Amino acid sequence: MFDVFLQGAAAALDIYCVLLVFGGVALGIVFGSVPGLTASMGLILCLPLTFTMPALHGLSLLCGLFIGGISGGLIPAILMNLPGTPGSVATLFDGYPMAMKGEAKKALSAAVLFSFLGTLFGIIVLAIFAPMLARFALRFTPFEYFAVSFFALSLIASLSAGSMIKGFISGVIGIAFAMVGMSPVGGIERMTAGQVDLQSGFAMVPFLVGLFAISELLHDAGKGPARATMHKLGTTTKEIGLKLADVMGNIRTWFVASTVGTGIGILPGIGVSTAGLTGYLAAKKTSRRGDQYGTGIVDGVAASESANNACIGGALVPLLALGIPGDTVASILLGAFIMNNIQPGPLLFLTQGELVYGIFTSLVIASVAMAVFMFALMPVFIRIVRTPKNVLMPLVVVMCLVGAFGLNNRAFDVWSMVMFGGLGFALRTFGFPLQPAVLGFILGPIVETNFYRALTASKGDYSEFLIRPISGTFLALSLIFIALPLFSALYTRFRPVNQS
């Protein structure tokens, strides 16, 4: 086996293959940093380029695009409060507040470093435990998927800084918009008012970009021309970078978030956006500084970027070990395998061992290339956002509009993005947090779909949710996390009365 590993590594270290990986990473960063141009779109556009390439070269290019696309989303998330990709939503919770405090370089450095470490974590897990983890993932039924998703949804209270009621209402708003269109089971129209465009529901990218980017533009416009220049990000010439203490103090954060991100990635159909949010929430719950998350600390940036990048390795586990694509990107990679007459599955490690280890090596090279590009271009990123907002923001809005239209080539997505921008501005104005709405929009359909599938499988027997060990455990944890904030609020409210 070691000889096969050396042969695969040597093939991946071929100069042409390495250049393809670096080129894929660079192109992926561009796709990830422009809202709407996701990693999936980058892979789809570049897939035809791999038709005439050797299998390893083509797959290495796509893997580089995958890693670059996921990591590139951190740039606008930190510097513009704009999620470049769905996986970078949790990054802006702390990244943008850090930029507002003049710590943009520190936030970017932490994001890039922990993106690199999270990617390596996922690759190591993929290389060592892929067959075993894939068999474990097969044990997950709709009951377990529902319980895990519901558990993540129950953590809405963790994202509600201040009023828990406002956080709950924000989460319900997100779920409500996710329910528009055809129901996932049965195909029944819901809240469409007879409009054809609403039958397919609202896309995730217009929702996220509108909620954060357009609302940010409206918020800044209300400050008047006197506030047209950038915030503290552009006022410091010697910005504070990342310190060794920041890195060492977040080793546990990296491990917790990467473990959660890898686990979410292994489960087919969940996605990188859920991995980033769930990893962020898990790190927050286990951190001694959990109450400071969302205020602009390195821990939050480290948690989000570790989780969404660790999801890369996790998503490849069922693809390589079982031939089951876990998400859109994995489906595209499966197509690339099939084009080369290679069938992923349990025998892949035996029949195509050199190719498999070559892919693992290319993933490591891609993670290094991502870190090199991001650190090298960091001064450029910061210089760009030092541009006065009256010049920069119109360009950002144009990119958002183009990205929203390019998603499905329909103007409806553009108008829905503008509508969600108004919604985000209204929520900001009245003190409602935006994060629970995102969590509700992403997880609501997953919870609903798996709930109906589980009921169908059990023929309406609700007890199946409780008697299964995994689903029962997660549902019990969900009840605990829902009840704790309520009991805490009641205790805080009535404690002075009892003491008197």
Beta carbons of 359 and 62 less than 8 angstroms apart: no
Residue 158's pLDDT band (boundaries 50, 70, 90)? low
Beta carbons of 302 and 250 less than 8 angstroms apart: yes
Q: Average per-residue pLDDT in the chain?
A: 80
pLDDT above 90 for 369: yes
265 closest CA partner among 335, 324, 206, 348: 324
Residue 112's pLDDT band (boundaries 50, 70, 90)? very high
322: burial class by Cβ within 10 Å (0-12, 13-18, 19+)?
buried
Average pLDDT over residues 345-365: 84
119 closest CA partner among 257, 247, 310: 310
Q: Which backbone phi and psi does 160 adopt, to 5 degrees? A: -100, 90
Between CA 389 and CA 110 the distance in angstroms is: 25
Write the DSSP string, 132-156. Answer: HHHHHHTT--HHHHHHHHHHHHGGG
- Does the pTM surpass 0.95? The reply is no
Beta carbons of 232 and 100 less than 8 angstroms apart: yes
Give the pLDDT score at 50.
82
Neighbours of 418 (CB within 10 A): 16
193-221 tens-digit pLDDT: 778 888 888 887 788 778 877 887 777 66
Give the pLDDT score at 162.
56
Between CA 272 and CA 148 the distance in angstroms is: 15
Bridge partners, 189 (sequence order)? 182
Crossing angle of helices 39-46 and 55-72, in 10° steps, is 150
Question: Which stretch of DSSP H or E encloses residue 181?
Answer: strand 181-182
408 closest CA partner among 212, 202, 215: 202
Q: What is the dihedral of CA 421, 426, 432, 437, to 10 degrees?
A: -30
411-430 tens-digit pLDDT: 888 888 889 989 988 988 88
Give the pLDDT score at 340.
77
Beta carbons of 23 and 372 less than 8 angstroms apart: no
Between CA 73 and CA 205 the distance in angstroms is: 12
Give the pLDDT score at 238.
44
Between CA 311 and CA 135 the distance in angstroms is: 18
380-422 tens-digit pLDDT: 877 766 666 666 667 777 777 776 777 677 888 888 888 998 9
Between CA 49 and CA 115 the distance in angstroms is: 27
305-334 tens-digit pLDDT: 999 899 888 888 878 877 766 666 777 787
282 closest CA partner among 154, 161, 173, 167: 154
Between CA 355 and CA 363 the distance in angstroms is: 12
Name, of 312-316, 342-346, 495-499, the range with top average pLDDT: 312-316
Of 12-21, 28-37, 474-483, give the lowest mean pLDDT range.
28-37
For tokens 């990635």, what's the residue?
Answer: 265
Structure tokens at 43: 């892979």
319: burial class by Cβ within 10 Å (0-12, 13-18, 19+)?
buried
Between CA 456 and CA 464 the distance in angstroms is: 11
pLDDT above 90 for 303: yes
